[in-house]
Structure 1
Amino acid sequence: MAAVNTSRMHADELDLDAPLVRRLIARRFPHWSALPVRRLASSGTENAMFRLGTELVVRLPRHPGAVPDLAHERRWLPLLGPLLPVAVPEPVGAGEADEDYPWPWSVYRWLAGANPVAGAVARPEGLARELGLFVRALRRVEAAGAPAGYRGGPLR
């Protein structure tokens, strides 16, 4: 199993670990409290992610600047999902701040798969086609009231 990266990416980042997630789940979602919790090796820069059993994943903002994105996810993912040609994370539980963790957090259905690795994609043309279909479908979505984007740049 790959080593878990728990190094800090932000000066104001909280220490997040499996025991904390177990406590949060036990208090907010006791029906999931017997499920094993395991931190994912690759969590991302804004959120830490923990597997919850085999079907779920818990996402917790790592620092205060990531908190607003959680509200956007909770609002927009259920709206976008049915309009896109691939599965997107489905929120199934909304956790709130408590004495152990100061911000909202979420539980999503686990999406099986792997991140593509440059030079190691078996069918790069197929991946490019699927990505193009996804981008085309996403651009057709009426996004009035959507949050402004702040990452990336022109695809050209």
Structure 2
Amino acid sequence: MGMHKDQLHIDEAIVGRLVAGQFPEWRHERVRRVATDGTVNAIFRIGTDLTARFPLLATDVATTSAQLTREAEAMRELSAACPFPTPVPVAIGSPGYGYPLPWSVQTWLPGTVATSEGSAQSDQFARDLAALIRSLRAADTRGRKFTGSGRGGDLKDSDEWMELCFHKSEGRLPVDHLRELWAAFRSLPAAGSVVMSHGDLIPGNLLVDEDRLVGVLDGGGFAPADPSLDLVAAWHMLDHKGRALLRKELASDDLQWWRGAAWAFQQAMGLVWYYQESNPGMSALGRITLIRIANDPLFSQPRHSH
């Protein structure tokens, strides 16, 4: 089943025709779909070195074209700042053969997609995550400010979305307790400054080799945001000990750490109910993240300002 209402259809036959027609130099390369828990794009490999990404949600061509151009620029900027390999943009394709939107081609990276629990107890993985976040924060914002809403901005902007999530989660999650957590999170003071942020450090966007981080995917959202936004990785991928090590490595103060948990919480609440049937992997990630936050002793006591 599709993950979204009005989800676009794309398959290997359509991709093969698009590639052959628009990029004849790749026409003899094998095209095969990549199974992922991703929710925004369908992913196809082209031969051994390239990946094609096709947006799943319908919008107009001009909007998608502008978005893909922005994402390519952000990917190049991320690549320059990131201490780990990232995909490099190669080309932008045009609509055709029944697929109505532009699409993108980038380089393929080797590695195994991370999971919420696969490296949760690894000190080395926690240190690699810290090295990644440190490097991204150190990148030059070039005077840019946070320009959007939702994740990375004011936590209160998510109130309406969170209310829908609580309503949809009745019978699935301990909603009363989760409401109490959100009440504490949404009242946190503003971050006060912005840094460059990946913006979506979930397991599906990181590649590992055993317990080492070896690649960073989906860099099209690299932009200025709340310094704590990339800390969502702590609750998406680390156990209590790993989180403590990550926090120590990054010297995160109370406010930054609480805001990191708040962004992870905001993201996880939507995953559980929205993808319960259509993407069980993403739904399970949301559950695991919420359990980690709800069971963290830090959030069972009032926050003390420093």
The interval holding the TM-score normalised by the smaller chain is 0.7 to 0.9
Match of 1:88 among 79, 86, 96: 86
2:46 and 2:52 in contact (8 A); partners too = yes
1:97 to partner: Cα distance: 2.3
Any idea what SS the aligned residue of 1:86 has? coil
- Distance in structure 2 (CA, Å) of the matches to 1:149 and 1:72: 17
1:121 to partner: Cα distance: 2.6
Distance 1:147 1:126, change over 3 A: farther
**Runs of 4 or more off by more than 4 Å in structure 1?**
149-153
1:43 and 1:49 in contact (8 A); partners too = no
Distance 1:17 1:57, change over 3 A: same
Residue pairs, 1:92-107, within 5 angstroms: 92-107=90-105
Alignment deviations for residues 26-66 of structure 1 (CA, whole Å, 9 cap, x no partner): 11111001100111111510000001111111101011369
Q: Which residue of 2 aligns with 1:42?
A: 36
Tell whether 2:153 aligns with 1:155.
no
- Distance in structure 1 (CA, Å) of the matches to 2:58 and 2:106: 20
1:93 and 1:108 in contact (8 A); partners too = yes
Match of 1:125 among 95, 98, 123: 123
Q: Which residue of 2 aligns with 1:27?
A: 21
Higher mean displacement: 143-152 or 59-68: 143-152
Higher mean displacement: 45-54 or 114-123: 114-123
Distance 1:145 1:90, change over 3 A: farther
Tell whether 2:99 aligns with 1:110.
no
% identical equivalent positions: 35
Higher radius of gyration, 1 or 2? 2
Any idea what SS the aligned residue of 1:102 has? coil
Alignment deviations for residues 78-128 of structure 1 (CA, whole Å, 9 cap, x no partner): 122021101111111111223532211111110111122344339721111
Distance 1:148 1:137, change over 3 A: farther
1:150 to partner: Cα distance: 4.7
Q: What do you get for the CA RMSD once the two structures are aligned?
A: 2.5
Any idea what SS the aligned residue of 1:16 has? coil
TM-score, with length taken from structure 1: 0.83
Q: Which residue of 1 aligns with 2:183?
A: none
Higher mean displacement: 87-96 or 57-66: 57-66
Identify, as 1 or 2, the structure richer in helix: 2
Corresponding pairs, count: 150
Match of 1:52 among 43, 46, 51: 46
Distance 1:86 1:8, change over 3 A: same
1:148 to partner: Cα distance: 3.6
- Distance in structure 1 (CA, Å) of the matches to 2:67 and 2:124: 30
Higher mean displacement: 19-28 or 123-132: 123-132
